[in-house]
Structure 1
C-alpha cells in the first residue's frame, strides 16, 4: 500500500459497482492484487466461471465475481463476495478509486529543456528536462513532453497529447490530440529501402511523412517509418502495443489493435477494427479487411478478407488451420495403422502367392 491510497468497504464497493454483496459489508480493503497473491487487506477478482475455484485458495478480503456464479455463493461461507456483470472492469474501477492517478504536474517548460525560438508551445503544456524541441514545431495545449524526448523540426502535435521519455519524433510528423506515445518509440524515421548499385546497397530517399490521428496509443519502443513517397498514416482510435514495426507507407485504419512484436512490411493497408496478435507478420502491399483477426505468429502473404480470423504460416482460415492441426496430432497413430495394414497386405500377398503356386503345380501334375 502507498501513501496516496484510499480504504474502502465492501458495502461501498457494491454500491459503486451496482453489484450484489454477499458477506460482511464492513470488511475494508486498502489495496488490490491478483487472486492468488491477495492478502486479507486486499481486493481481488475472478473473471469467469472457469476460474471460480480459485476463491477457495485465496486470502483476499473481498473478491469480485461474475454474476452467473451467484447460485454458488454458499460454496464459500464466511467470504465477502460482490457479484457484478463484468468483474475485471469493476475491479479496475475500484483499483483507480483505491489508488487514484497522480495529479498531473504543471511544470511548464523546464529551463533544462532546449526549445527553438521558432517553436510554439501551447498553454499548460509541460516540457520536461533534457527534451529538445526543434525549429517550427507546434505543440498544442495541455501536452506533456517527457524528459529526453526529441521533437523534430516542423512537427505538429494536437492538444492533450503525452509523449513519454526518450521518444524520438522525426521532422514533419503530424500527431493528433489525446494521443499517448510511450517511452522510446521512434516515429518518422527513414524507411528500410535500398537499391543495388555497383555492388553496394544505396539508400532510397523517403520524402513522405507520418500522420497520426486523434486518440492513438503507441507503445514503448515501437517504430513507425515515414513514407517513401506519400505518407504513413495511423487513423484515429488505434492502439499499438510495444515493439511493433510499421514500415513505410502503411495505412492503418481506425480502431485497430496491433499487439507486441507484430511487423508490417511496406505499404500494408488495414480496414477498421483489425486485430494483429503478437508476432504476426504481414508482407508488403497486403490489405487486411475490416474486423479481420490475425492470430499470433501468423504469416500473411496475401490480402485477407474482413470479418474472419486467420492462423498459421501461410495464413488461412482459423477453423481450417485448427482442422489441420488436429489431423497432424493423429499422424503418429495413422502411421502405425498404415504400417500394420502394410504387414497385413504383405501377409495376404504371401498367402495369395502360395495359393497361385499350388494351383500352378496342380495344373502341371494333371497335365
Structure 2
C-alpha cells in the first residue's frame, strides 16, 4: 500500500505546513469518515467546526482558516484546496485495468486499419475499415470504432462506447462507458400526405478536439451535413445530449442531464448547469453561464448568467421570484 509522510505531501503541494504528525498517510477521505491514517480537506471556514470530531491526521485548509490542527495532527495551507486535493487523489489513484496482450485475440481489427505504437485493444472490440488510431490509444473491451474514424494519440475509450463512421477524435480524450459518438441526428419532417414522418439523412460527422472528456451514457450526434464540433478542453458530464450540427467552443462545461438541441453554438468557456436545455439555433456567447434547470430560448450575451424557464438575467429572475413569494405570503 502506498503511503506518504506529511512532509512528503507538503513538498509536492508546496503549501504551508502547520503542526506535524508522525502518522503515515494512506489516502484521502471526507472529513466525517476519515481515520487517523488519512488526510482530509477543509475548503471553507464554515466546515472548520467539523475538524473537532474528525479522526483524520491531516487536512488541507484554505488561506482564511484560523483553527489549529491539534496534537499529532497537521494542516497544509494552500491557495486552492480543490486543486490541491486533486493532486493528492492522483498520488493515491489505483492502477487502471491491465491488458495481458496489446490486441486481444477476440478483437476484430480490419486489415486496412492503422494502429499506432503502444495501442491497447480489449476483448470483443471492433475496429473498422480505414480506421486510424494514434499511438497509445486504449480501447477497453466491447468498444466499436467504425470505418474511416480517426482517433488521436493517448485517447482512452471505455467499454460500451460506439464511435460511428468518419468521426475525428483528438488526442488525450477520455470517453467513459457507453458514450455514443456520431449516431444519426434527430431529423424528421412530416410527409407530403401528412400521414407519417420522413427521416432526413444525416451525412455529416462529429469532430472532437483535444483533451475532451465525455461522461457515461452521453450522446454526441452527427451533423446533417458538415460537422458537429466539440472544442478543445470541453468537459461533458454523464447523460448529456448534444444534437446535430451543434458547435462548442473551447473549455465548455456541461453538467448531467443537460442538452443542446440542433445547431446550438457555444462560445469559449460556457457553463451549462445540470438539466438545463438549450433551444435549437441558439447562440450562447463566451463566458456565459446557464443555471441548472433553466431553459434557454434565445441568445445569451457574453459573460452573462441566466436562470429560469424561460431563462433570463439571473438577478432579474431572483427578484421576480422574491416578489412572487412575498405576494403568496401576503395572501
TM-score normalized by structure 1?
A: 0.85
Q: Distance in 2 between matches of 1:245 and 1:322?
A: 28
Q: Contact conserved, 2:218 with 2:241, CA < 8 A, in 1? A: yes
Q: Identify which of 228, 241, 247 aligns with 2:243.
A: 247
Q: 1: CA distance between counterparts of 2:93 and 2:208?
A: 32
Deviations 1:304-328 (A, max 9, x none): 1111111000110111111112112
Indicate the residue corresponding to 2:199 in structure 1. 203
CA distance in 2, matches of 1:102, 1:194: 42
Distance 1:98 1:208, change over 3 A: closer
For 1:115 and 1:157, the matched residues in 2 are separated by 15
Q: Select which of 47, 51, 60 maps to 1:51.
A: 47
Work out the CA distance in 2 between the residues paired with 1:329 and 1:227: 44
Q: Which residue of 1 aligns with 2:182?
A: 188
Counterpart of 1:232?
Answer: 228
SS of match in other structure, 2:68: helix
CA contact (8 A) 1:106 1:124 kept: no
Corresponding position of 1:339: none
C-alpha RMSD over aligned residues: 1.7
What whole-Å deviation, never above 9, does each CA across 1:117-163 have from its counterpart, x for those lacking one? 11111111011110001111111111001111110111111111111
Tell me the equivalent position of 1:323.
319
Distance 1:158 1:79, change over 3 A: closer
CA contact (8 A) 1:187 1:223 kept: yes
How many Å apart are 1:107 and its aligned residue?
A: 3.1
Q: What is the DSSP-based 3-state SS (H/G/I as helix, E as strand, rest coil) of the residue aligned with 2:323?
A: helix
Distance in structure 2 (CA, Å) of the matches to 1:28 and 1:80: 12
User: Does structure 2 retain, via aligned residues, the 8 Å contact 1:106–1:126?
Assistant: no
Name the residue aligned to 1:36.
32
**SS of corresponding position for 2:67:** helix
| 1:103 Cα offset (Å) | 8.6
C-alpha displacement at 1:78, in angstroms?
A: 5.6
Count, aligned residues: 329
Aligned position for 1:107:
101
Q: Higher Cα Rg: structure 1 or 2?
A: 1
Equivalent residue, structure 1, for 2:10: 14
The aligned residue for residue 344 of structure 1 is none
Q: Which residue of 2 aligns with 1:296?
A: 292
- When the two structures are superposed, what TM-score results if normalisation uses the length of structure 2? 0.94
Kindly state the Cα deviation for residue 333 of structure 1 after the two structures are TM-superposed.
3.3
Q: Which has the higher helix share?
A: 1
CA distance in 2, matches of 1:193, 1:204: 5
* Runs of 5+ unmatched residues, structure 2: none
Kept in 2, the 8 Å contact 1:185–1:218? The answer is yes
> What's 1:155 paired with?
149
Instruction: Look up the match of 1:116.
Output: 110
Are residues 105 and 86 of structure 1, via their aligned partners in 2, closer, same or farther at CA, if it must alter by over 3 Å?
A: farther
Does structure 1 residue 73 correspond to structure 2 residue 68?
yes
The residue number in structure 2 matching 1:334 is 330
Conserved 8 A contact 2:21-2:72: no
Unpaired segments ≥5 residues, structure 1? 336-367
Deviates most, 54-63 or 183-192:
54-63
Kindly state the Cα deviation for residue 100 of structure 1 after the two structures are TM-superposed: 5.5
Cα distance in 2 for residues equivalent to 1:106 and 1:236: 32
How far is the alpha carbon of 1:331 from its aligned partner? 1.6
